Structure 1
Amino acid sequence: MATTTDPTAEAGAVSVVPSRFPYRTIAMGTIGSTLLMLAALGAGGILIRDPVLGHGPLSFIRYGHGKALATALLYFGFGLVVWAWVRLGRYVLDGRVGARPVLIAAACWMGPLLVSPPLFTRDVFSYLGQGAQLLYGMDPYATGPAELNVLPDVVLNVHQLWQDTPAPYGPLFLLVSKWVVGLTGNNMILGVILTRLVIMVGLAGVLWSLPRLVKHLGGKLPVTLWLAVASPMTVIHLVGGPHNDLLMLGFLTTGVLAMLDRRPVLSVVLVTVGMLIKPTAAVALPFLVWMWAAQLPSGGRVKRFFRAVLPALGVFVPVFVVGTWVSLGSMNIGWFTGMSAPQLIANWLNFPTGIGEIVYTMVHIMVDVPPSPFVTVFRTLAWVVLAAFVVRQWWLSRDGGNQAVLRAAAALLAVAILAPPTLPWYLTWGFVLASAFPWERKHLAGVVGVSVFLVLVYYPTGEQALYDWWFIGGVLAVSVYAAASLLKPDPLGLIEAWRKPASRNG
């Protein structure tokens, strides 16, 4: 049994209280995660043709009342995971548990989801479809998986929006998807599981680098792991999804750590590899140049900058060229135009799109006009604001060090919020880096609310729920309650009110 100082003790007094391993909290989250996995068989991103539950007595879970029951069970499981995460967060912030219980909790909560159908997304089916294109000699950056005349289940399960849409991912990830499809073929269940296992390599990178980043950036390791690894954003979105952002984050965090450890060449190599998985890792590269320049022994700032940027380019260019060539068999840079494909998604979760829709709604009351010009105008303005913000953050990073890391995290968050589209898991780009810095409890409460909100704004099937206003009202209420629960257990006294009648009846 470990001991720790009681944070509620009066100033100047030291009280040592016992701190138990949080078995019940971890068990609660594990039960919730298991329910998520089981309920996802009927309410998650299920297969169009399911070889396991498509026929037979258990197929009822995919239709009608059976699906409604599965959906209710899934949200109940999600509630248990969030409840356990918030409880664990209170223990961490009160100094009652260390890093090890947080890691054990995260592992227990992720375990059932390794074999789950996709949760709150169908992106993994697109990964497999694009990998199949590459496997059969097609160009995923020219057209979508619909061109395939083989592997019918792979093609059938790609979301309709992405059937004819070029891939927006880096060539190295397409190579990974090609290998997965080469092993699993038309077996979608094995394809999803193997993709998830490959993406977990990114989690290993994050777990290796975060303790070392904390030493550089001044955070507290249990808080960092609770925020970046055990949160629903990672457990449910990145692992349960699954999403290739987790693989990219492994290279991004290890690359930033390498720069802080004064290994600049390795740093640029790692972050460039991350970019070849998901292009947004490139946002961090200019910040690494300032960090490299700050580590040089002599010369003015401008001289040191050029002494850093030239070798940085000398590392970046060959890694980029070789990585692209090895992945695609040619110097195909069509993935730059492919990055525009996700902009087809238009909803108010992306801040400028939301502003454009609000203005359109106000104007449409008086004049019958189409919505697209309003969204386009505000998206264009947002690009200008985003460019100005990122450049300013980069310029303020010119002294390198920890400030450059913090501002790189801010730039990644800005890209996720202002560049269309904003998908919920995109905010992990900046959160994971920022998690290694010191945090105040009230700010962490805000992160709790945002995390819960960003999971629930999509239905478990992967379709967005953003215009179901009654549902979104409930999501907002749940998110605020979860945030308040980090600051105070049972903030509305609901559990206490339930216990009182029970005690009177007893």
Structure 2
Amino acid sequence: MATTTDPAPGAPAQAHPRTRVRVPSQFPYRTIAMGTLGSTLLLLGALGAGGILIRDPVLGHGPLSWVRFGHGQMLATAVVYAGFALVVWAWVRLGRYMLAGRIGSRPILIAALCWMAPLLISPPLFTRDVFSYLGQGAQLLHGLDPYAHGPAELKVLPNVVQNVHPVWQTTPAPYGPLFLLVAKGVVSVTGDNMIAGVIVTRLLLLIGLAMMLWALPRLVKHLGGKLPVTMWLAVASPMTVIHLVGGPHNDLLMLGFLTIGVLAALERKHALAVVLVTIGMLIKPTAAVALPFLVWVWANHLPHPSRVRNFLQAFGISLGLFGVVFVVGTSVSLGSFNLGWVTGLQAPTLVTNWLNFPTGLGQLVHTLVNLVIPVPESPFVTVARAVAMVTLAVFGARQWWKSRHGGNEAIFRMVLALLATAILAPPTLPWYLTWGFVIASAFPWRRRHLAIVVAVASFLVLAYYPTGQQALYDWWFVVPVIGLSVYAAASLLRPDPLGLVGAWRREPAVPDFAAGDEAVRSRPSRSTA
């Protein structure tokens, strides 16, 4: 019997964690409304504190222009953080209902879509990357090679050019040629209208979200997870709602092709899998990390008794398909076969912050040495990054070899390689962690691991200010953010973990397993899909 109010957060769904009990279906109206209010506040606050335009035609000289400066901008920033707190609070409450077996995947999907809706027309949040997308698309549209020149070389569309972040004004594009073709199409329609350009870009990137929503339920069946958990992790997470959609970021479109590609491999449609993931690579090159693992999946589905022959056959066909899609996709996107975009991948290394583990380690060593003798920072960071790249290569090769039996094990190792790439290869930007998390969400998860994800996701959104500038060296800001992120993680497992509301209103902790599920594992068994 459905109710019109939220289920009790964390209310046990069964008397014993291994006793399967069917609980009444309930719909979390208030929680969805809370998150929607939060994302609406994000939209309103972003008008003054987000990635606003240099010359804003909406608020620039109107009666509300005060929200872009001084105390007005401080108020707008406070509104943004209040909205973020409500979104995270709603997400955590939704997670407690899910773990208690009170809701299924449908309410979670509806919640995520409601939270995303206000952000479709919002100024960019916690990033300005979308302005770079439009600038590079404008270059391609007007005959400039975006892999040889930065947007500053463009003499037309001044609104597009001036809103690109100064770091990227003279930097070649680091994105795949197919995505630049998409950006070119956007600029050809919106021209110098940056507001329309941002909105149209978001709408096109939602194609990736639709692809994920189609593929994830099917991936869950192969990888052994629970669909509500997957939807909560991969779709309703602030990383997706705020970073990928609110940003927006082209990683969302790449993830659409990656998830369907992985699904195709598990369903023995291997040629299609290689084609789709290669297309994903032509959007965001990181998708290439997945391709070697898909070769093992293919090889283990071939019937010949010789494992070597099966591998060589799968590898040869995969390489041929990759080459055809790579050449055709690059040629169609750029008008000729231009490999300049491969060298353009070095551009993001200009970003240095301690979120990237080797960069942070190099900076830490430099700080300690600098206490004794003044030395420049760059040698320490360069050496640390070089060591990390060697480590990443060894780790990736080891994961690839361990995936030689194919099946779910190969996909799990692929996830580890994607996460390692996001952490060890410079730079590490907050939304890069979604590369691995989206596929990982379809595996079984333990409660404590879900809590860790809450802490990581909350922190990674706040690692940058709403304007898109990094906040990682403002320790007066970072330390409270870490504390609040840990509190959010604890709140998933037990409402009001510090007893701030009072014992008389405290609710029961979440049961050890949701709705009688068997113990869920964070690592899959080695089985052939």
Query: Which residue of the partner structure matches residue 182 of structure 1?
Result: 188
In structure 1, how many angstroms separate the alpha carbons of the residues matched to 2:33 and 2:2? 20
Q: Tell me by how many angstroms 1:299 deviates.
A: 2.5
Q: 1:300 pairs with 284, 303, 306, which one? A: 306
Give structure 2 stretches of 5+ with no counterpart.
507-529
In structure 1, how many angstroms separate the alpha carbons of the residues matched to 2:140 and 2:503? 59
Structure 1 counterpart SS, 2:423: helix
Contact 2:13 2:23 (8 Å CA) reproduced: no
Change (3 A) 1:11 1:40: closer
1:212 to 2:252 alignment: no
Query: Which residue of the partner structure matches residue 247 of structure 1?
Result: 253
In structure 1, how many angstroms separate the alpha carbons of the residues matched to 2:272 and 2:196? 34
Correspondences of 1:32-51 after superposition (within 5 Å): 32-51=38-57
Query: Which residue of the partner structure matches residue 451 of structure 2?
Result: 445
Correspondences of 1:392-411 after superposition (within 5 Å): 392-411=398-417
Change (3 A) 1:423 1:194: same
Structure 1 counterpart SS, 2:64: helix
Q: Tell me by how many angstroms 1:300 deviates.
A: 1.9
Contact 2:14 2:20 (8 Å CA) reproduced: no
Which deviates further from its counterpart, 2-11 or 306-315?
2-11
Query: Which residue of the partner structure matches residue 89 of structure 2?
Result: 83
Query: Which residue of the partner structure matches residue 268 of structure 1?
Result: 274
Correspondences of 1:299-448 after superposition (within 5 Å): 299-448=305-454
Change (3 A) 1:59 1:218: same
In structure 1, how many angstroms separate the alpha carbons of the residues matched to 2:434 and 2:258? 12
Correspondences of 1:68-147 after superposition (within 5 Å): 68-147=74-153
Q: 1:281 pairs with 277, 281, 287, which one? A: 287
Per-residue CA deviations over 1:1-33 (Å, capped at 9, x if unaligned) read: 359995351467666543420000000000000
Query: Which residue of the partner structure matches residue 194 of structure 1?
Result: 200
Specify which structure has the bigger relative contact order, considering alpha-carbon pairs within 8 angstroms and separated by 6 or more residues.
Answer: 2
In structure 2, how many angstroms separate the alpha carbons of the residues matched to 1:498 and 1:370? 57
Change (3 A) 1:273 1:17: closer
Change (3 A) 1:312 1:60: same
Q: Tell me by how many angstroms 1:337 deviates.
A: 0.7
Structure 1 counterpart SS, 2:24: strand
Change (3 A) 1:57 1:209: same
Give structure 1 stretches of 5+ with no counterpart.
501-506
Structure 2 counterpart of 1:188, one-letter code: M
Per-residue CA deviations over 1:284-305 (Å, capped at 9, x if unaligned) read: 0000000000000113221110
In structure 2, how many angstroms separate the alpha carbons of the residues matched to 1:456 and 1:286? 34
Alignment root-mean-square deviation, CA: 1.5
Per-residue CA deviations over 1:214-235 (Å, capped at 9, x if unaligned) read: 0000000000000000000000
Q: Tell me by how many angstroms 1:166 deviates.
A: 0.2
Contact 2:13 2:102 (8 Å CA) reproduced: no
In structure 2, how many angstroms separate the alpha carbons of the residues matched to 1:13 and 1:133? 61
Change (3 A) 1:134 1:212: same
Contact 1:6 1:17 (8 Å CA) reproduced: no
1:471 to 2:477 alignment: yes
Change (3 A) 1:179 1:13: closer
Per-residue CA deviations over 1:236-284 (Å, capped at 9, x if unaligned) read: 0000000000000000000000010100010000000000000000000
Number of residues of Structure 1 aligned to a counterpart in Structure 2 = 500
Structure 2 counterpart of 1:370, one-letter code: P
Contact 1:114 1:239 (8 Å CA) reproduced: yes
Structure 1 counterpart of 2:68, one-letter code: R
Per-residue CA deviations over 1:70-104 (Å, capped at 9, x if unaligned) read: 10011000000000000000111111100100110
Query: Which residue of the partner structure matches residue 53 of structure 1?
Result: 59
Contact 2:48 2:77 (8 Å CA) reproduced: yes
Instruction: State the TM-score, normalized to the length of structure 1.
Output: 0.97
In structure 1, how many angstroms separate the alpha carbons of the residues matched to 2:24 and 2:139? 58
Structure 2 counterpart SS, 1:467: coil
In structure 2, how many angstroms separate the alpha carbons of the residues matched to 1:11 and 1:36? 39
Which has more helix, going by share of residues?
1
Structure 2 counterpart SS, 1:376: helix
Contact 1:6 1:14 (8 Å CA) reproduced: no
Contact 1:113 1:239 (8 Å CA) reproduced: yes
Q: Tell me by how many angstroms 1:497 deviates.
A: 7.3
Instruction: State the TM-score, normalized to the length of structure 2.
Output: 0.93
Structure 1 counterpart of 2:238, one-letter code: P
In structure 2, how many angstroms separate the alpha carbons of the residues matched to 1:13 and 1:218? 19
Contact 2:261 2:272 (8 Å CA) reproduced: yes
